[in-house]
Amino acid sequence: MSADRSYLFVPGSDDEGVVEAIGSPADVVIVDLEDTVSPAAKAAAREWTLETLADLGETSQRLAVRVNGVDTDRGIDDVRTIATADALPDVLLLPDVRDASEVRLVDDVLDEYGVDVDLHPLIEKPSAMFDAQGIARVSERIHGLMFAAIDFQMNMGMSILDETDLSVPRFLLSMAANGAGVHAVDKPNLAAVHDEERTRAEARAAKAVGFDGKAAMTVEQAAVINDVFSPSAEEVARAKRVIDAFEATDEGVTVIDGAAVDKPVVDQLRALVDRAESKK
């Protein structure tokens, strides 16, 4: 599974923004056909997005498209049009997925055309949060779940503009994603877009409860997110030291640097080193 850390949203109607995003630090560039595009511009945005995908060729980033809601004719038409396009994105983001049946609708369309792309359902409703593990397990195409906090707060009647404690839904989504063996992706920092320290704090909070990455609204946010979700040189050096010390013993568990270390600890440290190597 790809080690994606930052997911940068760009409106599909913003030609210059898409060009800027491609080649930016973001691991995944999401061309959005949904909320950031006005209804009058949606048809043109989809056409331009497909042309852009066809013209791009190979890129160092993964490219994604957020379609319109798959409970609407426009959303399913987005999926069909993308499935028959000359070039495919790596990922489809599915907004406001309410239950596993909506993912099956997309799966059926992709099966119909023999198309294989990753799927990222967005969890926006409280009911979907409680069904998140079922959503994550419904298709082999599922790469991850993304927390769409603004819509979640609206659906909960929670203030969107004010600081709000989202630790419980974050933890629920992380458990669902990790339980299904897929990525957990946190919401973007929308409340203070240009506040680097807030983005960093949010990313650290998400990482602490098992998230693999975070959505971004700007190139600058993406760079901060990459930094937080990348093992530091100190973390890698410590991991290698502990691994080497453990392997030098014949014990199932030993104490290294004051900490009890056994196989699960070493397995996690090896994964950390692999993750660091994959982003060099």
What SS3 string covers 2-31? Answer: CCCCEEEEEECCCHHHHHHHCCCCCCEEEE
* Integer CA distances (angstroms), 57 to 51, 53, 78, 273, in order: 11, 7, 21, 31
Residue 231 pLDDT level (bands cut at 50, 70, 90): confident
Give tens-digit pLDDT for 25-69. Answer: 999 999 999 988 888 889 888 998 888 888 876 777 899 999 999
The answer to whether residue 2 scores a pLDDT higher than 80 is no
Contact (Cβ atoms closer than 8 angstroms) between residue 61 and residue 22: yes
Identify the residue with better confidence: 217 or 276. 217
Q: What is the pLDDT of residue 210?
A: 93
- Mean pLDDT across the stretch 156-166? 83
Identify the residue with better confidence: 279 or 233. 233
- Return d(Cα 91, Cα 72) in angstroms, integer: 20
- Mean pLDDT across the stretch 122-126? 95
- Return d(Cα 13, Cα 18) in angstroms, integer: 9
Segment among 82-86, 175-179, 276-280 with least mean pLDDT: 276-280
Contact (Cβ atoms closer than 8 angstroms) between residue 68 and residue 39: no
Residue 280 pLDDT level (bands cut at 50, 70, 90): low
* Integer CA distances (angstroms), 104 to 66, 123, 136, 231, 276, in order: 17, 16, 11, 36, 35
Q: What is the pTM of this model?
A: 0.86
Q: What is the pLDDT of residue 204?
A: 94
- How many residues belong to the chain? 280
Give tens-digit pLDDT for 70-95. Answer: 999 999 999 999 999 988 999 999 99
User: What integer best gives the mean pLDDT of the chain?
Assistant: 90
Domains of the chain: 6-229 (3.20.20.60), 233-278 (no CATH)
Q: What is the pLDDT of residue 279?
A: 66
- Return d(Cα 143, Cα 180) in angstroms, integer: 10
Residue 131 pLDDT level (bands cut at 50, 70, 90): very high
Residue 109 pLDDT level (bands cut at 50, 70, 90): very high
In the chain the first and final C-alpha atoms are separated, in Å, by 17
Segment among 1-5, 26-30, 33-37, 255-259 with least mean pLDDT: 1-5
